[in-house]
Amino acid sequence: MQDFKAAFLEFAIRQQVLLFGEFKTKAGRLSPYFFNAGLFNDGASLKQLGEFYAKAINDSGIAFDGIFGPAYKGIPLAASLAIAFAAEGRNLPYSYNRKEAKDHGEGGSIVGAKLSGRILIVDDVISAGTSVRESVELIRAAGATPCGVAIALDRMERGLGSLSAVQEVSRDYGLPVLGIVNLNDLAAYLATALADKPEWSDTLAAIERYRGQYGVGE
């Protein structure tokens, strides 16, 4: 596993963004882990999060001209990513949407930079793909081109069919979806850490069972 992936998982666990136990998903499944990016809720953790996104995006080689964060969770993610890239010497525009269009002042549903060129969508996870679909429509309506989606964690979990939500987005919109980490990375990290944290053996076993029941391949 790449060093930054392990570092991200350590960071998420330390921040209690990534929790282990038994959690009910929207699909009614009992998941042995839970990821809540909303708990990256202070300046220091948001700064680090933006840096992890930037590292994953740089490693992917995806070309883009601007960043878009779908409301609401995507808004601070897009801002933190823009700041992380600026620290690297790359000044990128970023935008986000309102849930309801504004009919006064500047009006419209897009806040921030004008959408133009190739736009990278940034979100925490993809569950049903709803925010991606809305983002793609907004970006295209503005005359720009959605070119990819960056997320924090790819659960690699089947939706209603045989594909995961991430695979469905890639299929339906022809967009690459990159995650800082995915479920394979999490399982590998836990397996490596067992020497120091033997109490994670039950967690790893539960994740492997869950992956066997609901998981998809790459």
Q: Which residues are catalytic?
A: 102, 104
Beta strands in the chain (DSSP E): 18-24, 30-35, 66-69, 94-102, 108-112, 118-122, 145-154, 177-182
Beta strands in 103-198 (DSSP E): 108-112, 118-122, 145-154, 177-182
Among candidate residues 205, 129, 213, the one with its CA nearest the CA of residue 173: 129
Among candidate residues 10, 103, 94, 89, the one with its CA nearest the CA of residue 48: 10
- Chain centroid to Cα 47, Å, comes to 15
Beta-carbon count within 10 A of 163 CB: 15
Residues 119, 144: Cα–Cα separation, whole Å? 7
Among candidate residues 45, 29, 134, the one with its CA nearest the CA of residue 84: 45
Residues 55, 158: Cα–Cα separation, whole Å? 27
